[in-house]
Amino acid sequence: EGDNLALFQKFNPEGGIPWVSYGGTHATSGATVDANAFEGKTYDQIIAGISDPKSDIGKTVLPAINMLSAQICAQTDNQPANVCKSSGVVNASVLLKR
């Protein structure tokens, strides 16, 4: 519990929820996507928006997905390769603090 508390205090001093640590090297706290992007949209509209990088939803969600994926790929030796080698994830991985 001590190691987890130390990580929590290091990466999340504000106490944001949700909070995720990626191997003790990277972390996110709080919502990564503004929920207003989904307001008034049906499930099918949201899925279509996520699938279209030019849509408002795609522009909101895909950068967060790519950053989340880059953080996971950094912990899994870039596996699965089809995800970790995708252009969005590769571009996001450059932004990770090393």
pTM: 0.75
Query: Which of 38, 32, 28, 12 lies closest to 71 in space, CA to CA?
Result: 28
CA distance 11 to 23: 12
Which structural domain, as residue segments, surrounds residue 15? 1-30
- Do 42 and 81 lie in a common domain? yes
**Contacts of residue 53, Cβ cutoff 8 Å, sequence gap at least 6:** 59, 62
18-67 per-position pLDDT tens digit: 777 788 777 777 778 888 989 999 999 999 999 999 999 999 999 999 99
User: Quick one: pLDDT band at residue 13, thresholds 50, 70, 90?
Assistant: confident
- Do 45 and 24 lie in a common domain? no
Provide the domain count of the chain: 2
- Do 22 and 39 lie in a common domain? no
